[in-house]
């Protein structure tokens, strides 16, 4: 559950960044390249969403120089790096409660949109709905019963040309996807604002395309006659929609159509910005840390001890690497970490643990072919690629899965050293 909530948060951050970028660019792009190019800017949002959950980049970490040697000849850990995890998956205490709240919000938003759609279909059955395009599987044009009386033949042609462009561009289906995103991301105000701006830009882009087929005067008259019947239509495209201010649509009628060269320039700019949005969302993820060399050069051992409360019993965590097996005279090629609830094996380790202050690093990270064995798992253990022990919480994080280690939370040592070599 925690993994899902974290993924949802990452996607929403990427969506929010994309929507803000489009909000800043849509008016300048409309002024420079006309409404169709401004509408195409919304490609930035779906480009950023999946990129935000792609596997992150890897950053190599150079090994630190070895520390002083133990009198017996075994080195204290030669740490493989001090890279701090920029964002580390934190435990969601009460994650089931958060999930339940999210489900309740999805349900409430879905009920509202279903109610708004039902209101439109109720008006359609009375012959007072439309003009609009409605339907997901079979989109169709809906006009009111008095359509031929209210509008002249040229005005009818203008409205139908507009609606046919919606059909050709699959706008009704796009609006249904936007409605679904509003349900899933009901808690994100930028998603709702973005949906409103998206519908406005969609309508203006459709106006631009329709003006190449009909008279501007007839188009303006049709707009003025139908504006008083504006409705909300979540799953469709309404001609007199409440989301589309009349002033913006009338201003568009006064503008000249862009030249072919300007349209191509705008399209190239949108494609470049879309690629940058996807790349930026992917690059914004905290990198995975990997050892600079596949060779294992972490030898020695460390012991971390922490008391549970004042005067309570001490719990121990040990980390060993390059330990010599006396029975066979060989050096092992893995890192082993033991803790109260079990142990873990891995290819290499990163030690970023400062016991001298509250502000320093407090993590030990195992990397590569991790195998976690605890008393809460079966004998086969749990495989993974990165295991992080955070002394500040006493928790383990295996590729986003959080579980207890049995170690108390870190408390700064003021009298005796709790971090020793052996």
Residue 292 lies in a domain: no
Q: Which two tokens stand for residue 350?
A: 């990163």
> Could you tell me if 182 and 85 lie in one domain?
yes
Residue 245 scores a pLDDT above 70: no
What distance lies between CA 82 and its chain's CA centroid?
27
Q: Which two tokens stand for residue 2?
A: 């925690």
CA angle 402, 410, 319 (to 5 degrees): 70
Q: Which two tokens stand for residue 225?
A: 């006659």
> Could you tell me if 395 and 262 lie in one domain?
no
pLDDT in tens, 36-71: 999 999 999 999 999 888 887 766 554 443 333 333
> CB–CB of 36/205 below 8 Å?
yes
> Could you tell me if 189 and 332 lie in one domain?
no
Residue 109 lies in a domain: yes
State if pTM tops 0.85: no
402 or 379: which leads in pLDDT: 402
The pLDDT value recorded for residue 290 is: 52
Residue 236 lies in a domain: yes
DSSP secondary structure, 357-388, as one string: -SSS-EEEEEEEEEEEEETTS-TT-EEEEEEE
d(CA 238, CA 163): 9
> Could you tell me if 22 and 89 lie in one domain?
yes
Q: Which two tokens stand for residue 134?
A: 């409605």
> Could you tell me if 271 and 340 lie in one domain?
no
The torsion angles phi and psi of 242, rounded to 5 degrees, stand at -70, -20
Residue 19 lies in a domain: yes
Domain span at residue 193 reads 2-283
Of the candidate ranges 53-62, 161-170, 348-357, 390-399, the one whose mean pLDDT is the lowest: 53-62
d(CA 204, CA 252): 8
Taking alpha carbons only, the member of 26, 61, 71 closest to residue 44 is: 26
Residue 145 lies in a domain: yes
Residue 294 lies in a domain: no
pLDDT in tens, 209-219: 998 888 888 88
| 156 Rama class: left (phi>0) / alpha (psi -120 to 50) / beta | alpha
> Could you tell me if 375 and 267 lie in one domain?
no
> Could you tell me if 376 and 405 lie in one domain?
yes
> CB–CB of 95/5 below 8 Å?
yes
DSSP secondary structure, 154-205, as one string: HHHHHHHHHHHHHHHTTHHHHHHHHHHHHHHTTT-HHHHHHHHHHHHHHHHH
Residue 226 lies in a domain: yes
Residue 288 lies in a domain: no
pLDDT in tens, 320-366: 876 544 443 334 457 889 999 999 988 888 888 777 777 778 888 89
> Could you tell me if 254 and 341 lie in one domain?
no
Q: How far lies 379's CA from each of 59, 342, 400, in Å?
A: 33, 11, 21
> Could you tell me if 263 and 309 lie in one domain?
no
307 Cβ partners below 8 Å, 6+ apart? 313, 314, 315, 408, 411
- Domain boundary at 234, 255, 283, which? 283
Q: How confident is the model at residue 249 (pLDDT cuts 50, 70, 90)?
A: confident
> Could you tell me if 192 and 311 lie in one domain?
no
> Could you tell me if 272 and 198 lie in one domain?
yes
> CB–CB of 353/304 below 8 Å?
yes
Q: How confident is the model at residue 87 (pLDDT cuts 50, 70, 90)?
A: very low
Q: How far lies 301's CA from each of 73, 77, 103, 213, 338, in Å?
A: 12, 6, 47, 78, 11
> Could you tell me if 160 and 256 lie in one domain?
yes
The pLDDT value recorded for residue 146 is: 87
Number of separate domains in the chain: 2
d(CA 343, CA 319): 10
């Amino acid at each position: 559950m925690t993994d899902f909530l974290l993924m949802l948060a990452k996607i929403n951050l990427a969506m929010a960044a994309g929507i803000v970028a489009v909000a800043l660019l849509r008016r300048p792009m409309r002024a420079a390249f006309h409404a169709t190019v401004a509408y195409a800017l919304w490609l930035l949002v779906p480009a950023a969403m999946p990129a935000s959950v792609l596997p992150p980049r890897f950053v190599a970490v150079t090994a630190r120089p070895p520390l002083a040697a133990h009198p017996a000849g075994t080195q204290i850990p030669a740490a493989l790096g001090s890279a701090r995890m920029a964002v580390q998956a934190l435990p969601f205490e009460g994650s089931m409660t958060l999930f339940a709240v999210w489900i309740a919000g999805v349900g409430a938003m879905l009920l509202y949109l279903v109610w708004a759609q039902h209101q439109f279909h109720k008006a359609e059955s009375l012959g007072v709905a439309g003009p609009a395009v409605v339907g997901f599987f079979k989109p169709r044009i809906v006009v009111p019963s008095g359509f031929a009386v209210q509008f002249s033949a040229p005005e009818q042609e203008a409205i139908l040309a507009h609606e046919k462009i919606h059909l050709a561009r699959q706008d009704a289906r796009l609006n249904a996807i936007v409605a679904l995103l509003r349900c899933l991301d009901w808690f994100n105000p930028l998603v709702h604002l973005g949906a409103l701006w998206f519908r406005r830009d969609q309508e203006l882009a459709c106006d631009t395309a329709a003006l190449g087929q009909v008279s501007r005067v007839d188009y303006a008259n049709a707009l003025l006659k139908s504006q008083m019947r504006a409705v909300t239509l979540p799953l469709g495209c309404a001609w007199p929609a409440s989301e589309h201010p009349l002033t913006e649509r009338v201003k568009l009628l006064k503008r000249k159509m862009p030249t072919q060269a300007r349209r191509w320039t705008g399209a190239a700019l949108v494609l470049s910005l879309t690629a940058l949005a996807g790349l930026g969302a992917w690059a914004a993820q905290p990198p995975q840390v990997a050892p600079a060399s596949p060779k294992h050069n972490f030898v020695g051992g460390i012991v971390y001890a922490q008391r549970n409360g004042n005067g309570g019993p001490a719990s121990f965590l040990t980390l060993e690497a390059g330990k010599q097996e006396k029975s066979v005279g060989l050096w092992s090629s893995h890192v082993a970490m033991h803790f109260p609830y079990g142990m873990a094996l891995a290819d290499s380790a990163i030690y970023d643990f400062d016991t001298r202050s509250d502000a320093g690093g407090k993590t030990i990270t195992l990397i590569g072919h991790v195998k976690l064995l605890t008393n809460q798992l079966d004998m086969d253990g749990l495989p993974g690629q990165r295991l992080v022990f955070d002394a500040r919480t006493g928790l383990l994080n295996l590729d986003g899965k959080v579980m207890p280690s049995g170690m108390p939370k870190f408390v700064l040592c003021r009298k005796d050293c709790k971090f020793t070599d052996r």
